[in-house]
Amino acid sequence: MTEFLAQHTPTLTHWLYLSTLLFSIGLYGLLTRRNAVGILMAVELMLNSAALNFVVFNRFCAPATVDGQIMAIFVIAAAAAEVVVGMAIFVALYRYRGTVDVNAMDTMKD
Amino acid sequence: MNAIFYITAAVAVVSTGLAITRANAIHSLLWLVTSLLAVSVIFFVLGAPFVAALEVIIYAGAIMVLFVFVIMMLNLGPDAAEQEREWLSARAWTGPGILALILLAEMVYILKGNVSTLEGARMISPKELSLALYGPYILVVELASLLLLAGLVGAYHLGRRDPASAKELKS
Amino acid sequence: MLMLPEIIVVLTAGVVLCLDLFLTERSRVILAPVTLLGLALGFAALLVTPQTGDLLGGRFGMDPIAWWFKVIFLIAGFVTVILSMDLLDGRAAHRMRGIGFRGEYYTILLSTIVGMMFLISARETITLYVSLETATIPLFVLTAWRRDHVQSGEAGLKYVIIGALASAFILYGLSILYGLTGQTSIVGMSAKLADVPRPAFWLAAAMLMTGVGFKLTIVPFHMWAADVYEGAPAPVTAYLSVASKAAGLAFMFQVFYRIFGSELAGWTPLIAAFAAVTMSLGNLVAIVQDNIKRFMAFSAISQAGYLILGFLGPADNGVPAMLFYMLVYILSNLAVFACIVWYSNETGRERIEEYRGLSLTNPIMALGMMIALFSLAGIPPLSGFVGKFFLFSIAAKAGYNWLVAVAAVNSTISLFYYLRIVRQMYIEPIYEGAGTLPVRYTVAATVGLLSLAVALMGVIPYFYETIHAQTITWLASLIG
């Protein structure tokens, strides 16, 4: 076990596997969840995996600079704004409709 | 040191997968917090301690607390107490708790033996990052502050209760 | 001084927000004029801003394309404020609860305008991403502005989810590009792109295309538009259909021309397919629509299909043609929406049949709306025809004759459904006892000026020639 670990230093590809996996899980959640809050959580996971990507690339492709980490910080900031706005809309809608199930959102179909 | 990567990655993937598949919103939130903590450990290992700290403070802290608030708010039905008991049952938090403990152990290990990061990685200090943020990237900082201000004003508007409509809802 | 227009608009947002604190509800009507003044000052500053140059070590750049986009954003913002005034201060505000709150509304509107202006001037991906979010996220709030209106909230919910999904895709695409090139600067990226591994590059390109497709309502990614446009308050729909679309085009310009550059040549079949599907589907679905806002959503989708024809040709033809068409499109669309907003505010009617007899009660508004609709349909000599002509000729020159045929058929179909509204206004009998509806002079002036501009821009070649000459000189340095 320790030998195996010593020989398998994680390379760029390993990190990318991880972030892609997280992105895909997020996408899966986005498509399967029906509650708007759950969907927003899935989107957060996708944004988070993109932030992970930036930090990973910063470390492996441009170690002398800090651009990737800066981007990760702004991704977190933008995600915060998105969540705040999204939650406010959900709460306002919930007060009126009593649900935030996206399948129930059909008052505008012809 | 390599073990850290594999353990953390496994924690991240498992907790993310469970966060997405749990039917109960509070349960999936607990898993989501664990997933974010795992990503934060990964940031630390990759030489981004400042981003790791922000991930914990803003993501796992502020944003997730917001999620919890909203979920609790949206579930104020007659069976709220029943739900409360179910949410706080040991079964709900043991799994995420164990994974979070693993992450904690990793962090302690990293901090004790002065293995700062993966081999070859350069630890980018908060100072270096701040100099870049408030130097070349000052414009983006201002833009982000405008974005947050607009989000704040918008959330304030949407969240405020009209006296008129509140009355109507009650009747 | 390069950033002066943006700074003025940001300051206006701050002034409006602070003024709102100190004013009584009755005197808050002055907030709209203040906003208009700020936007006008921003426009004046833009006129004296040099058209080339950069700031902050090349992170903020100005060139003729960015200049024209800022003109488009400021015009769109200005007209939207006038239309919002009609909604927030007029009779409609008393009828609808949850409307009003002018200070917050204008602050948020101004911050999206600022985001869009920075979007086209961004010269590295971090600024690009944050300004894209600044342009988009506040729009979610504006869409859901009427808190006690189910459809408004529902539209907001859909828009938040789709918008967040689109930005996640864009962000992931950008992160791959960053990984491939190790740069965030757009110039640095495009210089290194020639020798990066292809599959990863295509993945990044596909992700960016998907994200931009959502913003521009290209067809497989268009499904949100109808519901969001229908549910949002009418002035916000107007803003979404013009400014948000222009921002999507601006982002597409940034990605396609500045980052991908020469790679674009291999993509034309894909873009042609997207264009054909987008214009056909938008048109066919528009025929059966009943609600005029929903109808305009599908009309806007089909217009996006015509618009991306410009990407088929070389940049020195495509860029001026697309910019000109965008300008024409926003003027025509805003004129139509000015009538829609006004009519909906005065009567609460939003169905197409309910426009009957408008030419008898308010002939001038009906005339303005007709001119704008004909321009959208592309009837000569209006400017919509000229704009479409340039775009179609680019597709023809690139060898896509079938696509030109499809586009021509689509234009004919669109004429049919735009005429449906004109028929209601001019031929169908008037509502019994309907009298002349009052029109605010600001709205009347807006409709008049916009329809006049739509008509004149088709006849006077000055505008297109200016756009062409200015962008050509700049593009020569980029491509050559």
In one-letter notation, the amino acid at residue C439 is V
**H or E segment and range at residue A35:** none
- Residues of C within 8 A of A100 (CB-CB) are 157
Q: Which of C97, C415, C336, C361 is nearest to B166 (CA)?
A: C97
pLDDT for C15: 94
Three-state DSSP class for residue B46: coil
Q: Is B51 on the interface with A (CB under 8 A)?
A: yes
pLDDT tens profile B101-142? 888 888 777 777 655 555 556 788 889 899 989 988 999 999
Chain A nearest-CA residue for C141: A85
**Contact state of C130 with B143 under an 8 Å Cβ cutoff:** yes
Instruction: Determine the average pLDDT of the residues in C40-49.
Output: 92
- Measured in angstroms, the CA of A109 and the nearest CA of chain B are apart by 25
Structure token pair of residue C152: 């408004």
Closest in C125, C158, C226 to A105, CB measured: C158
Where exactly are the structural domains of chain B?
2-124, 134-171
| pLDDT-derived band at C480, boundaries 50, 70, 90 | very low
Q: Assess: ipTM above 0.90.
A: yes
Environment class of C472 (CB within 10 Å of its CB; exposed 0-12, middle 13-18, buried 19+): middle
Where exactly are the structural domains of chain A?
10-98
- Residues of B within 8 A of C145 (CB-CB) are 157
Distances (CA, A) of C249 to C3, C161, C214, C473: 21, 21, 11, 21
Three-state DSSP class for residue A63: coil
- Residues of A within 8 A of C141 (CB-CB) are 85, 88-89
Which chains share 3+ C-beta pairs under 8 angstroms with B? A, C
Instruction: Determine the distance from the C-alpha atom of residue C251 to the mean position of all C-alpha atoms in its chain, rounded to a whole number.
Output: 12
pLDDT for B84: 63
Q: Is C131 on the interface with B (CB under 8 A)?
A: yes
* Cβ pairs B/C, distance under 8 A: 80
Instruction: Determine the average pLDDT of the residues in C131-153.
Output: 89
| pLDDT-derived band at C64, boundaries 50, 70, 90 | confident
Instruction: Determine the distance from the C-alpha atom of residue C427 to the mean position of all C-alpha atoms in its chain, rounded to a whole number.
Output: 31
Q: Which of C102, C80, C128, C110 is nearest to C9 (CA)?
A: C110
**What is the DSSP-derived secondary structure letter of residue A64?**
T
Domain B2-124 indexed as CATH 1.20.120.1200: yes
Asked if residues A45 and B19 have their Cβ atoms less than 8 Å apart, the reply is yes
Q: Is A31 on the interface with C (CB under 8 A)?
A: no
pLDDT tens profile B26-67? 888 888 999 999 999 999 888 888 999 999 999 888 888 888
* Cβ pairs A/B, distance under 8 A: 169
Q: Is B126 on the interface with A (CB under 8 A)?
A: no
First to last CA, chain A: 62
Structure token pair of residue C474: 């700049």
Q: What percent of chain C has pLDDT over 70?
A: 96
Assess whether pLDDT exceeds 60 at residue C329. Answer: yes
- Residues of C within 8 A of A56 (CB-CB) are 179
pLDDT tens profile C118-141? 999 998 899 999 999 999 999 999
CATH number of A10-98: 1.10.287.3510
Nearest 5 degrees, angle CA C197-CA C188-CA C191? 55
C60 bridge partner residues: C55, C122
Three-class SS string for chain C? Answer: CCCHHHHHHHHHHHHHHHHHHHCCCHHHHHHHHHHHHHHHHHHHHHHHCCCCEEEHHHCEEECHHHHHHHHHHHHHHHHHHHHHHHHHCCCHHHHCCCCCCHHHHHHHHHHHHHHHHHHHHECEHHHHHHHHHHHHHHHHHHHCCCCCCHHHHHHHHHHHHHHHHHHHHHHHHHHHHHHHHCCCEHHHHHHHHHHCCHHHHHHHHHHHHHHHHHHHCCHHHCHHHHHHHHHCCHHHHHHHHHHHHHHHHHHHHHHHHHHHHHHHHHHHHHHHHHHHHHHHHHHHHHHCCCEHHHHHHHHHHHHHHHHHHHHHCCHHHHHHHHHHHHHHHHHHHHHHHHHHHHHHHHHCCCEHHHHCCHHHHCHHHHHHHHHHHHHHHCCCCCHHHHHHHHHHHHHHHCCCHHHHHHHHHHHHHHHHHHHHHHHHHHCCCCCCCCCCCCCCHHHHHHHHHHHHHHHHHHHCCHHHHHHHHHHHHHHHHHHC
pLDDT for C261: 76
Which residues, numbered 59 to 98 in chain C, qualify as contacts with chain B under a Cβ-Cβ cut-off of 8 Å? 59-60, 97-98
pTM more than 0.90: yes
C53 bridge partner residues: C62
Closest in C59, C134, C142 to B146, CB measured: C134
Closest in A48, A73, A100 to B39, CB measured: A48
Phi, psi (rounded to 5 degrees) for B114: -75, 45
- Residues of A within 8 A of C130 (CB-CB) are 74, 77-78
- Residues of B within 8 A of A66 (CB-CB) are 124, 128-129, 132
- Residues of A within 8 A of C129 (CB-CB) are 71, 74-75, 78
Q: Which of C402, C416, C415, C218 is nearest to C306 (CA)?
A: C218
Exposure on the CB side of residue C168, measured as CA atoms within 13 A: 27
Structure token pair of residue C142: 């504006």
Q: Which of C120, C160, C263 is nearest to C202 (CA)?
A: C263
Structure token pair of residue C24: 């009584």
In one-letter notation, the amino acid at residue A85 is V
**Contact state of A82 with C164 under an 8 Å Cβ cutoff:** yes
pLDDT for C80: 94
Instruction: Determine the average pLDDT of the residues in C295-324.
Output: 89
Residue with the larger pLDDT of the pair C351 and B165:
C351
Closest in C137, C150, C171 to A75, CB measured: C171
